[in-house]
């Protein structure tokens, strides 16, 4: 391992055999953390070429179980978001794609820091469990076409160990390390066709659009070299997606979309991601046709029905679909946050809103923190809306007065208001297709 570290430190290229050896020995516990940390820093500073990145990803996949979806009928699809604020697209897209005839066997994660996680959102529904085994997931998917479960402990153990080490050695923000971390989990989860939602902006890992496209290309290359069909959409995370941020609030908003209501940006992003996946999975080249198909499914109520099937199959209270306000938990304390000035809202800083939601109780700072499913933020206004001084632009929800006060303070710095109407900001910046071809919108 000393030689591996030295090669990378000096800017050399690692062979597949060296990468595989390092991952195998690190997971087995024979490489100490101090050597792994040194190698991570060398990788961070010197980078990895695309062959090394693909080899690292495969070595991480091989460190644990790989889910076998081959017994399922139809094309299995997956979706991944690089993380954002108010991003509840999986709750809409999963049932929508299942109702459109695709097979959705999805493993999701929990929220950390300012970003939310699908598992926390789903678990806001009373009774719902995401702790299914891979076998139980496959059986449920065979019955109803969809399951959304927690990633099992045996999936990509190398990523879990390395991510914890990256977190404390300032080596998280490396594009090839992020790409291989995300794609190792996608490859191990077994789906044939994958759509990636790469976020860019204040609430995202990638702060610039160029970096987001670069990450998208790197992930697609990994997917292609592993024989999967992968497409990426680069989308805006400068302001939260939709209006709800916080677990039960986001479930309620996802149900609105499935009913044909809800915020336009959330519906639009779901249709963009969904139509890309439909084109990929069914070799449908006509985007317009793919989109129309999804709109028809949404309007028919079939996606809402499929969401109910998912909730009930995983032990949740299916009445949430008809009366979310009486089934979902409600916060004890609520307050309004008002605008400091008059004019137009120029920006709503997604990072700050995510942090406010976390402070209110909706998220975690440390992995084992307990969350409050009812806590969070609901935006009454979004970027571009007119506002007057003292007008409510957000409402906040918390389990106690102390959190409410702290959350209110964090949130109050999140908006900027000025006299001019802001220029339109796009929701989607473009996409990278399965062949790595980039289109900017």
Binding site for ligand URA (CB under 6 A): 163, 172, 177-178, 181-182, 205
Kindly give the residue spans of alpha helices, DSSP state H, lying in 232-371: 247-258, 264-282, 287-300, 302-313, 324-327, 350-360
Report the 10 Å Cβ neighbour count for 296: 11
DSSP characters for 14-77? Answer: PPHHHHHHHHHHHHHT-S-HHHHHHHHHHHHHH---HHHHHHHHHHHHTTSB----TTSSS-EE
3-state secondary structure of 433: coil
Instruction: Give the Cα separation of 361 and 125 in Å (integer).
Output: 17
Smallest gap from Cβ 206 to ligand URA, in A, equals 10
**Minimum CB distance to ligand URA smaller for 40 or for 383:** 40
Smallest gap from Cβ 270 to ligand URA, in A, equals 21
Smallest gap from Cβ 185 to ligand URA, in A, equals 6
Smallest gap from Cβ 403 to ligand URA, in A, equals 27
**Minimum CB distance to ligand URA smaller for 309 or for 355:** 355
Buried b (16+ CB within 10 A) or exposed e, 146-171: bbbbbbbeebbbbbbbbeebbeeeeb
**Minimum CB distance to ligand URA smaller for 182 or for 270:** 182
**Minimum CB distance to ligand URA smaller for 18 or for 181:** 181
Nearest to 245 by CA among 363, 391, 406, 91: 363
Structure-token pair, residue 122 = 């789903």
DSSP characters for 280-298? Answer: HHHT---HHHHHHHHHHHH
**Minimum CB distance to ligand URA smaller for 182 or for 394:** 182
Smallest gap from Cβ 425 to ligand URA, in A, equals 24
DSSP characters for 124-189? Answer: TSTT------HHHHHHHHHHHSEEEEEPPTTB-HHHHHHHHHHHHTT-S--HHHHHHHHHHHHHHT
E strand map for 193-262: 193-200, 229-236, 244-245
The residue number whose beta carbon is nearest to ligand URA equals 181
Nearest to 121 by CA among 324, 404, 309, 424: 324
According to DSSP, the residues that pair with 416 across neighbouring strands are 347
Report the 10 Å Cβ neighbour count for 126: 16
Smallest gap from Cβ 182 to ligand URA, in A, equals 5
**Minimum CB distance to ligand URA smaller for 163 or for 344:** 163
**Minimum CB distance to ligand URA smaller for 78 or for 252:** 78
Instruction: Give the Cα separation of 175 and 357 in Å (integer).
Output: 27
Smallest gap from Cβ 178 to ligand URA, in A, equals 4
Residues identified as active-site: 80, 159, 166, 181, 185
């Amino acid at each position: 391992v000393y030689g591996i570290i030295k090669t990378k430190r000096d800017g050399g290229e690692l062979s597949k055999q060296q990468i595989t050896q390092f991952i195998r020995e690190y997971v087995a516990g024979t490489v100490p953390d101090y050597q792994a940390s040194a190698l991570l820093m060398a990788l961070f500073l010197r980078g990895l070429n695309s062959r090394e990145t693909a080899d690292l990803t495969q070595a991480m996949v091989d460190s644990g179980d790989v889910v076998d979806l081959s017994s399922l009928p139809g094309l299995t699809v997956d979706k991944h978001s690089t993380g954002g604020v108010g991003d509840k697209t999986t709750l809409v897209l999963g049932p929508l794609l299942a109702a459109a005839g695709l097979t959705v066997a999805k493993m999701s994660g929990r929220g950390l820091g300012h970003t939310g996680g699908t598992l926390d959102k789903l678990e806001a529904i009373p009774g719902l469990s995401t702790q299914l085994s891979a076998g139980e997931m496959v059986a449920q998917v065979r019955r109803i076409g969809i399951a959304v479960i927690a990633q099992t402990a045996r999936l990509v153990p190398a990523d879990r160990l390395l991510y914890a080490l990256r977190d404390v050695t300032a080596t998280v923000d490396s594009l090839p390390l992020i790409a291989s971390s995300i794609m190792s989990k996608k490859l191990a989860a077994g789906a044939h066709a994958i759509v990636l939602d790469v976020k860019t902006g204040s609430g995202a890992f990638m702060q610039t659009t160029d970096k987001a496209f670069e990450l998208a290309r790197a992930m697609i290359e990994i997917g292609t070299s592993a024989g999967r069909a992968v497409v990426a959409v680069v989308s805006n995370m400068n302001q939260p997606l939709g209006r709800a941020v916080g677990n039960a609030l986001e479930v309620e908003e996802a149900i609105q979309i499935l009913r044909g209501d809800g915020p336009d940006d959330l519906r639009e992003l779901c249709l963009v991601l969904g139509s890309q996946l439909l084109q990929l999975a069914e070799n449908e080249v006509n985007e317009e046709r793919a989109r129309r198909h999804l709109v028809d499914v949404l309007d028919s109520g079939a996606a809402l029905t499929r969401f109910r099937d998912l909730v009930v199959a995983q032990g949740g209270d299916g009445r949430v679909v008809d009366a979310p306000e009486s089934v979902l938990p409600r916060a004890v304390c609520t307050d309004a946050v008002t605008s400091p000035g008059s004019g137009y809202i120029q920006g709503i800083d997604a990072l700050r809103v995510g942090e406010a939601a976390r402070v209110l109780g909706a998220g975690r700072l440390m992995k084992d923190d307990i969350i409050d499913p009812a806590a969070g933020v609901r935006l009454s206004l979004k970027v571009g809306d007119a506002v007057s001084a003292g007008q409510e632009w957000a409402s906040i929800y918390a389990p106690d007065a102390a959190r409410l006060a702290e959350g209110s303070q964090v949130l109050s710095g999140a908006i900027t208001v000025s006299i001019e109407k802001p220029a339109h900001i796009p929701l989607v910046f473009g996409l990278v297709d399965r062949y790595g071809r980039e289109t900017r919108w």
